[in-house]
Structure 1
Amino acid sequence: MIENIIAKAGSAYILAMEYFSIMSDMDRLMDEKSKTEDETIRNYLDDKYDSLAEKLFEVQERLKKTEVKW
């Protein structure tokens, strides 16, 4: 039983770290976007941001499904 709790808590921790890493990447992209006026680069950064937003949603859903019960 305790092994199961530890495994699920570890999985939740890994997912949470991935979630925060993606959020950090998204923040960095928006910072880069604010520093450029080149429309091509801005569109590229928007596409990367959208891709990260999809990945963030997927990680968020997996995190919601991870239950750690005592």
Structure 2
Amino acid sequence: MSRFDWAALLRCGVRQCGLRPAEFWVLTPVEFGVLIGADEAGPSMTRDGFAALMAAYPDAGTKGAGDG
């Protein structure tokens, strides 16, 4: 298992986002992601995209299929 690089995230928050360390540590992961642009990964999956995914990987024959 690899270690999570907290120091790199803190450097990013302080140097690139202009946060003070105390401000960095009270952010939620979602808030920090917004600050660094991680929320701009692209559009959400469309209904057609989801249908294609379900067709490619059907649940038929698995335990619990069709129960929910």
TM-score (norm 2): 0.23
* Bigger Rg, structure 1 or 2: 2
The higher-RCO structure (CA 8 Å, 6+ apart) is 1
Q: Which structure shows the higher helix fraction?
A: 1
Relative to the length of structure 1, the TM-score reads 0.23
